[in-house]
Chain A
């Protein structure tokens, strides 16, 4: 079996894999990072969203072997030790989750939205950017609220960091 090496949540990993191993299988089965979920087979539900080289992708629709040398970030790597990422906090504060199954993909997608669209997100933007993430529990209302709040919090956090740097 061919080998693949990549960095996952800051840690280098190497493994021999069957070429048909999808990234999500590599994460869940090889690395036992089971926070990334599988909810469909047609690349639509978004439960498997992770970041590859800083951009959100569906880890069920890419082969592990394609990611030689890539930097992969999953939900497990989002918090800084015990300190939650502002988007994680926002999901809890705004009751943006119920069963929790879509949540990792939702949060990774949300962070990506902020990375691309900034910290001041209106409802319309958030709803259309969630095109690729299905939730069956929340009716999206509180997810939208959570992402708006998380985006603001990420902005103020960045401002603080910047201030400290000045």
Chain B
């Protein structure tokens, strides 16, 4: 690991100032991706800005027809939250399948979304549930937030502060884990909220998480697994690696989407 300076600001404003003025700074949230990356010398920030002392960045609350989750809320807190379990069980289950129990005690929702790993679970939740990502500067709809592999709409000194999930009528997430890393080889989140149907896929897209409009349109007609029969996602443009070819991933998207719809509808 390269040497760095650690800052521990007590407010978002301070953190944003530090981020703006230091040349090569990175935010440290749960650190479960950043620290291993630094250990392997694949990242070399000159300074780290630890967000853990900032009050008010963590917590889960039900606000009207939305669940609002602070950016520094740990995966385990989301998974174990009675509020989430009761109102948005798909999200609790998704959070409970990230990494492993120890990683879930550290990793945060804000960190995961800002990192936008193409195989991470939370991007599927944000996009599949039509979440709004709130930063120190603005609100960004999930549809606008994920701009490519490890790329987001976040500006240079922008910090995610919370994530708002509108409550769907039905939702489910089905994940097929990469056997080695346990990231999603493919994960599909399906939700229905009023007239809006979303099918978001993580793990498979060369540019990160994406929606499957063909599936969404079919599910508009009738929200059931049979509606997806005969439909598939083209393999072209999907990720292909030692763990799964593009063809296999394309096939899994169909299988998992049907299973997610069945789970959500049931």
Binding site for B on A (CB under 8 A): 2, 18-20, 22, 41-44, 46, 49, 55-58, 60-63, 65-66, 68, 109, 112-113, 116, 129, 131-133
Stretch at the interface among B30-38, B82-90, B126-134, B200-208: B30-38
B100 within 8 A of A: yes
Q: Which chain A positions have C-beta within 8 A of B35? A: 22, 43, 61-63
Instruction: Check if B100 sits within 8 Å of A131, measured CB to CB.
Output: yes
5 cross-chain CB contacts under 8 A: A20-B38, A57-B106, A61-B31, A116-B80, A132-B100
Instruction: Check if B102 sits within 8 Å of A56, measured CB to CB.
Output: yes
Binding site for A on B (CB under 8 A): 1-6, 8, 28, 31-32, 35-36, 38-40, 48, 50, 52, 76, 80, 99-103, 105-106, 181-182
Closest to A53 in B: B105
Interface hub of A22, A63, A68 (most chain B Cβ within 10 A): A63
Instruction: Check if A18 sits within 8 Å of B102, measured CB to CB.
Output: no
Apart from A56-B105, A60-B39: 10 A-B pairs, beta carbons within 8 A: A18-B3, A19-B48, A41-B36, A43-B36, A55-B76, A57-B102, A57-B106, A62-B106, A66-B6, A109-B102
Shortest Cβ distance from residue B119 to the other chain A in the assembled complex, whole angstroms: 14
Q: Which chain B positions have C-beta within 8 A of A57? A: 102, 105-106
Q: Which chain A positions have C-beta within 8 A of B48? A: 19
Instruction: Check if A41 sits within 8 Å of B39, measured CB to CB.
Output: yes
Instruction: Check if A132 sits within 8 Å of B103, measured CB to CB.
Output: yes
Q: Which chain A positions have C-beta within 8 A of B3? A: 18-20
Instruction: Check if B6 sits within 8 Å of A61, measured CB to CB.
Output: no
Q: Which chain B positions have C-beta within 8 A of A58? A: 102-103, 106
Shortest Cβ distance from residue B72 to the other chain A in the assembled complex, whole angstroms: 12
Q: Which chain B positions have C-beta within 8 A of A49? A: 102
For the complex, what is the distance from the CA of A138 to the CA of B86, rounded to whole Å? 39
Q: Which chain A positions have C-beta within 8 A of B36? A: 41-43, 61
For the complex, what is the distance from the CA of A131 to the CA of B98, rounded to whole Å? 10
For the complex, what is the distance from the CA of A30 to the CA of B5, rounded to whole Å? 20
Instruction: Check if A132 sits within 8 Å of B102, measured CB to CB.
Output: yes
For the complex, what is the distance from the CA of A58 to the CA of B105, rounded to whole Å? 9
Instruction: Check if A2 sits within 8 Å of B6, measured CB to CB.
Output: yes
